[in-house]
Structure 1
Amino acid sequence: MERQRVRLVDSLRGFSLFGILLANLLIFQYGMFGKDLISFYNLSDFNFGSYKFIQVFVEGTFMPIFTFLFGYSLIKLVESIREKGRKSRWFLVRRFLMLLTLGLLHSTYIWEGDILTFYGGIGFFLFFFINRKPKTLIIWGIVLLLLITVTGYGKYEETEKEKTITASYVEKTTDIYKNGTYSEIKDHRNNGEDPLTAMFDEDTIPSFFIILLLPFVIAPLFLFGMAAAKLNIFAKPKEERNSYFKYMLIFIPLGLILKIIGHLAEKSDWASIGVMSGGPILALGYMAAFAYLFSSHSQALPFRAFESVGKLSLTNYIMQSVICTTIFYGYGLGLFGNFGTFNSILIGVVIFAIQCFISTMYLKKFKRGPLELLLRIVTNFSWNGRVKTK
């Protein structure tokens, strides 16, 4: 008998996918490097305001929610396997390797903004924490968060060489992604000519150091999610309602203040601290607010729609890439670079609404999505996707 899914967690996962889509639309439309060189695209004041809205309220905040839930689900998976008398190690190894494989296929053939490869890779790092107590996980999470805050102090000025390389790459990317064929776009994405290759030069060591730190920016949310699962948080939303409200009032204002300071004072020594620490903190606030509303309105249509998308999160994540690359790339509608950030928000809402509808209809006939079933088959090493009781 399979353990019952935590509805709030599925609904939160769907909610996070909505935010991830809105944030990723900046990359779909402007490219991985173009989204941070937005002046190249000469946005109107209205579209620039929409761009800043996404940066403050969405970007760097919804991915940590998804990360938190990855850690949460990891512990629940381990508990489920152990309840059947099996050791979890090889189940997890297969799962992480499959995520790595799906991520590599996704980034090579569809879109460069993949996160599955990162999740599969960091999963092996999480082995060291699976058997730790909740208190230990929380302490490690706080320590890593503080470490990132400290190392984020100071500003890094790009060299003229770096600026030239990035601007040239963005210009070339815009032309190819907007007008190129599928093969041309794939070759450009995978040929290793992006500005990151310059980070191996001796004058770009600081920026390469920042790239190395990125996994540790996300790691605290994995650990907090694992601790939450061990404490069985989210299992009884109505009983935890007051706690959600308290955390919402603390983390949302704090996260927003940090992110706003980070974006308003981009050239200050504190900017990176605000952006890097503000995102995860705001994520905790969003989760608390969502859980607070869910605790009294769990049967409302929006929450049930989010839940449906969340149950099919892997399939829906990949489909977002397929849909959006078709809209923006040359082998589709070719709207790359000139669609507008406000319009991208609107199209994001439409795409997600369609995913909500299709996911709800799909789950009336099937229990799992195609990619969810594939991952389950590989993880459990069983054609029916079930863990054999020992």
Structure 2
Amino acid sequence: MKQRVNTIDALRGFSLLGILIANMLIFQYGMFGKDKPEHFQLSSFDTVSYVWTKIFVEGSFLPIFIFLFGYSMMKLKEKLEKNNMKVKRHFVRRFILFLTLGLLHSIFIWEGDILLMYGCIGLFMLMFINRKRKTLLVWAIALLFLNSFMGFGSYEETDKEIEKMESYIEKETVAYSSESYADALGFRYSDETPFDFPDYFYIVFLFITPLIISPLLLFGMYGAKSNWFTDPRKEKRLYIRGAIIFGIVGLLLKSSHYIMNDLSWTTGAYSVGAILLAIGYIFGFAILYTKVNRKVMSYIEKVGRLSLTNYLVQSIICTSLFYGYGMGLFGRLGVFQGILLAFFIFAMQILFSHYYLKFFKIGPFEKVMRIFTYLSWNGQPKRRKKKVVEEVA
């Protein structure tokens, strides 16, 4: 059991690095500006770095986090049942806190928040919490195929849409380059949008988002029920096959979007490839875990043990560096230097996590999560005694 937990913690720490590298594009160029590199006139070297990030990183590390979210759900369920506690009641409290933290994070720090999504998808996934292992796999595959068909299709922006997007990116750049925190906050929650969607679109989007995200989460739940990562050394053959098949297919599909970008189907191929590559990374990291020095991996595990705290700290550091009320590097640093900065920040988080856990057993935000989940100040579940009914002779 301990080996499995260490593997999952290490994978969670590894995914935090990938998420940070991908998020560097948003921190530097904005939520929509990251997909319009021509607006920022990147150098040829930064263009290569941009395409590398798009193919190898973006869209393929957040799914790992989602997979681990589903995996952790099932392990927490087992822990709650072991202590004779109400499973869904505790999960609802946990996901409400995710919603609250995500809302505060997205309003006051950064709009690229994922915690709000975690809360929403977590509540949606409660309908699967008691399903059998085979049922989870069937649903995961079915929803993955559904998403694949949804992603394929052709769409060309009109001149008006291109002009509106350019205007939005320009205003976004001005707001996030401003020395006033109020300007950044005001722009983020203004009525300014780069699209002319009807009001009902957002209701539809809210409905389909869980369907888009849930396949990896279901795979995570299936993996937990299948006891994946309990002993990576014995399961090495499975991981090698998974890493090779999913990794190669995922990279080919994602690369097609840049090699054959004049074809309409490559956008959908990119989306499917991102998920497949994420699965390849999961299996590949499990292999790496058995090869790399145990002490080295222990540092990555510690980052994963403080994943919620480290994720929020990444947002605070990067918005302070790139936004105008901090160092004002928005749109100025460059993609390659942003990647180097991500590695530097992650290295600092490795040191922070290592020394923090010498004095404390759990991170500050992880502690809040446990207190709210268990309604216990020590953050530990209170074991409930089973009622014993004696027969009356």
Identify the TM-score tier after normalising by the shorter chain.
Answer: over 0.9
Is 1:256–1:278's contact at 8 Å kept on the other side of the alignment? Answer: yes
Which of 65-74 and 287-296 deviates more? 287-296
Using the TM superposition, name which of 146-155 and 378-387 deviates more: 146-155
- Alpha carbons of 1:155 and 1:72: their partners in 2 closer, same or farther (altered >3 Å)? same
Structure 2: which 5+ runs fail to align?
Answer: 385-393
How far 1:5 sits from its partner (Å)?
6.6
Please list the CA deviations of residues 322-376 of structure 1 after superposition, one character each: whole Å capped at 9, or x if unmatched.
0000110001110101110000000000000000010011011111000000000
Q: Which residue of 1 aligns with 2:286?
A: 291
The residue aligned with 2:370 is 376
Q: Offset of 1:34 from its aligned partner? A: 0.4
Q: For the Cα contact (< 8 Å) 2:6–2:301, is it kept in 1?
A: yes
Partner of 1:58: 57
What is the CA distance between 1:101 and its match in structure 2?
Answer: 0.2
Structure 1 letter corresponding to 2:280: G
| In 2, Cα distance between equivalents of 1:263 and 1:273 | 12
Q: How does 1:35-54 map to 2 (within 5 A)?
A: 35-54=34-53
Secondary structure of the corresponding residue to residue 6 of structure 1: helix
Aligned match of 1:305: 299
Residue 212 of structure 1, CA deviation: 5.9
Is it true that 1:241 corresponds to 2:233 in the alignment? no
Matches within 5 A, 1:203-214: 213-214=208-209
Which stretch shifts more, 358-367 or 173-182?
Answer: 173-182
**Aligned partner of 2:346 among 339, 343, 352:** 352
Instruction: Using the aligned pairs only, state the percent identity.
Output: 48
Amino acid at match of 2:340: L
| Aligned ranges 1:133-172 → 2 under 5 Å | 133-172=132-171
User: Shift of residue 201 of structure 1?
Assistant: 7.0
Equivalent residues in 2 for 1:98-247 (5 A)? 98-196=97-195, 198-200=196-198, 213-247=208-242
If the length of structure 2 is used for normalisation, what is the TM-score?
A: 0.94
Asked whether the 8 Å contact 1:238–1:296 carries over to 2, the reply is no
CA–CA separation in structure 2 for the residues paired with 1:165 and 1:253: 37
Partner in structure 2 of residue 314 of structure 1 = 308
Larger Rg: 2
Which string of whole-angstrom CA distances, capped at 9 and with x for unpartnered residues, describes residues 304-330 of structure 1?
A: 221111000000000000000011000
Alpha-carbon separation, structure 1, partners of 2:335 and 2:206: 26
In structure 1, what is the Cα distance between the partners aligned to 2:289 and 2:158? 48
Q: Which runs of 4+ in 1 moved over 3 A?
A: 2-5, 207-215
Classify 1:269/1:208 alpha carbon distance in 2 versus 1 (closer, same or farther; 3 Å).
farther
CA–CA distance in structure 1, aligned partners of residues 209 and 157 of structure 2: 18
Contact 2:178 2:184 in 1 (8 A): no
Distance 1:340 1:208, change over 3 A: farther
Structure 1 runs not aligned, ≥5 long: none
Cα root mean square deviation, aligned: 1.8
Tell me the TM-score normalised to structure 1 length: 0.95
Q: CA deviation at 1:216?
A: 2.6
Note if 1:362 corresponds to 2:359.
no
Deviations 1:156-196 (A, max 9, x none): 12233222221101001111211231111111111131225
For residues 236 and 11 of structure 2, the distance between their equivalents in structure 1, rounded to whole angstroms, comes to: 15
Superposed displacement of residue 87, structure 1: 1.8
Separation of aligned partners in 2, 1:180 and 1:194:
22
